[in-house]
């Protein structure tokens, strides 16, 4: 797989190698410690620091749930992550990450360790996929996504097309191809229509694809096709009742179609789901003022101004009341 995503693999391997330097070299020296010896948490921390990982991991796990000072448990967890990766015990790594997240979820040093650990696990798993099933749809899909992330649009598109040639009904691929067409700079004047066709094909395969419905709604809204936009956004909201952006798009499209009263209900739901989004308050204020609810509208516009000012200090926030 690294033949396709060489830059990504090199970056991941180098960053992980630097992060875990000092552990891999000593991981094989574990024979110096008797596997049957009982190790205290402090001994485990010392041994782990010296690279004797296999023997120390069980005691480090116990240290995470023992009545010990927080700093000791944190140290044990960090060493546990590093040691378990050094000996490629991925289940233990996930256990240590879970324990650290539980007890030190706001600690920047812990979060730093976890970021690198997930990066390492991701790299190893992608290598497993490349080794065990290099010609699988999953492997080609991962390659396409990596190429897309590197901005190599044409090779990524060829990967998605290869998958569709192998399996025309592969779920999610038409959606990813459509998303790529919308993301690619200078994709040509017909890119949006080509993407639209891909999203429609995706819905023929998987009618429950909420994201495809939503993007089709966005494309329709941009073109002022209010009936289609309303239909797409409402369907996306029904498929995923927690999708605040779908309710917002639904409400904005109803406003665009001058159906102000109808717009209030989906915008109220969007507001409840993500009250910190200033666009929702602005749209709701517009619907309210157009239906004669001026007092309520002004409250929404005030919230919109406050949230916009907080997000963009110094910028003037307009609203639908102007």
* Domain residue limits at 306: 218-322
Report angle CA 290, 292, 296 to the nearest 5 degrees: 95
**Amino acid 188: pLDDT:** 87
- Mark whether 258 and 307 lie in a shared domain: yes
**Amino acid 39: pLDDT:** 81
Establish if 21 belongs to a structural domain. yes
**Amino acid 9: pLDDT:** 46
- Mark whether 186 and 200 lie in a shared domain: yes
* 237: CATH: 1.25.40.10
Contacts of 204 (CB under 8 A, 6+ apart): none
Establish if 295 belongs to a structural domain. yes
- Mark whether 101 and 157 lie in a shared domain: no
Mean pLDDT in runs of 10 for the chain (322 residues)?
42 44 48 60 89 91 92 95 96 97 96 96 94 94 93 95 96 97 90 97 98 98 98 98 98 98 98 97 98 97 93 58 42
Report angle CA 255, 207, 155 to the nearest 5 degrees: 95
| Domains contained in the chain, number | 3
Cα 188 from Cα 251, distance rounded (Å): 31
What ranges in the chain are assigned the alpha helix state H? Answer: 6-19, 41-49, 53-65, 70-86, 90-103, 108-132, 137-149, 153-166, 173-183, 191-205, 210-222, 226-239, 244-256, 260-273, 278-290, 294-311
- Report yes or no: 81 and 60 within 8 Å, Cβ to Cβ: no
Q: Which of 6, 207, 297, 213 has its CA nearest to residue 126?
A: 6
**Amino acid 311: pLDDT:** 74
Q: Considering the entire predicted model, what is its pTM?
A: 0.74
């Amino acid at each position: 797989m690294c033949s396709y995503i060489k830059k990504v693999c090199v970056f991941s391997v180098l960053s992980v190698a630097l992060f875990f330097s000092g552990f891999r070299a000593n991981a094989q020296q574990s024979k110096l410690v008797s596997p049957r010896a009982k190790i205290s948490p402090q001994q485990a921390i010392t041994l782990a620091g010296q690279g004797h990982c296999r023997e120390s991991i069980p005691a480090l796990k116990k240290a995470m749930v023992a009545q010990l000072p927080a700093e000791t448990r944190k140290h044990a967890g960090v060493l546990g992550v590093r040691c378990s990766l050094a000996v490629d015990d991925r289940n233990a790594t996930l256990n240590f990450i879970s324990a650290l997240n539980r007890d030190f979820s706001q600690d920047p040093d812990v979060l730093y360790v976890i970021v690198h650990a997930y990066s390492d696990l991701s790299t190893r798993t992608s290598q497993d996929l490349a080794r065990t099933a290099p010609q699988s749809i999953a492997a080609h899909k991962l390659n396409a996504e990596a190429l897309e992330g590197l901005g190599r649009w044409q090779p990524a598109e060829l990967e998605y097309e290869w998958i569709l040639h192998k399996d025309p009904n592969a779920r999610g691929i038409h959606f990813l191809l459509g998303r790529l067409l919308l993301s690619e700079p200078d994709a040509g004047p017909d890119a949006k229509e080509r993407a639209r066709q891909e999203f429609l094909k995706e819905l023929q395969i998987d009618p429950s694809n909420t994201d495809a419905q939503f993007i089709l709604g966005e494309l329709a809204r941009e073109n002022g096709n209010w009936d289609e936009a309303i239909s797409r956004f409402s369907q996306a909201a029904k498929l995923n009742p927690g999708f605040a952006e779908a309710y917002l798009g639904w409400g904005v499209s109803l406003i665009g179609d001058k159906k102000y009263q109808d717009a209030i209900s989906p915008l109220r739901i969007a507001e409840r789901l993500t009250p910190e989004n200033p666009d929702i308050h602005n749209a709701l204020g517009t619907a309210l003022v157009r239906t004669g609810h001026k007092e309520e509208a002004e409250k929404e516009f005030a919230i919109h101004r406050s949230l916009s000012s907080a997000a963009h200090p110094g910028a003037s926030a307009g609203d639908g009341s102007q």
